[in-house]
A = this chain, B = another copy of it.
């Protein structure tokens, strides 16, 4: 962290998954999604590819291709989304990792307590699902978004 801030990559992924969750059974291309959601195309397309590789999205090649949510929003945990996009990262480097990685290891007394905190964070991101993202979406913003879809798709 600095404190706790999602990277743009994650923020974009969450927004996209939310959109796809609200519009299931339909394929959207990276280009369309980038225009609808106002996200840089080159960047978003890499994120989409990763989500597809992790089977969170279905993807199709070709002119009619694109992406589609492949899982039930209720079953898609934040922790899965995060692991699809990044190597697992913990509050401190040595949690779950090689202790030799830090030269302070032998005298560092925060490892075990940090392990405890990490568990709580893991619990939090495992108990939050895409469904939560869908349920709490703000209504007026949903309307704005739907208008943008019409504008982009014509």
Interface residues of A (CB under 8 A from B): 1-7, 10-11, 14-15, 18-19, 36-39, 82, 86, 88-93, 103-104, 106-114, 116-117, 120-121, 124, 128, 132-133, 135-138, 141-142, 144-145, 148
Q: B141 to A108, Cβ gap below 8 A?
A: yes
- Copies of the protein in its oligomer: 2
Complex CA gap A1/B92 in Å reads 12
CB neighbours of A11 from chain B (8 A): 92, 110
Among the listed B89, B117, B141, which residue makes an inter-chain contact with A3, where contact means beta carbons less than 8 Å apart? B89
Among the listed B1, B82, B111, which residue makes an inter-chain contact with A6, where contact means beta carbons less than 8 Å apart? B1
Q: A107 to B145, Cβ gap below 8 A?
A: yes
CB neighbours of A38 from chain B (8 A): 103-104, 107
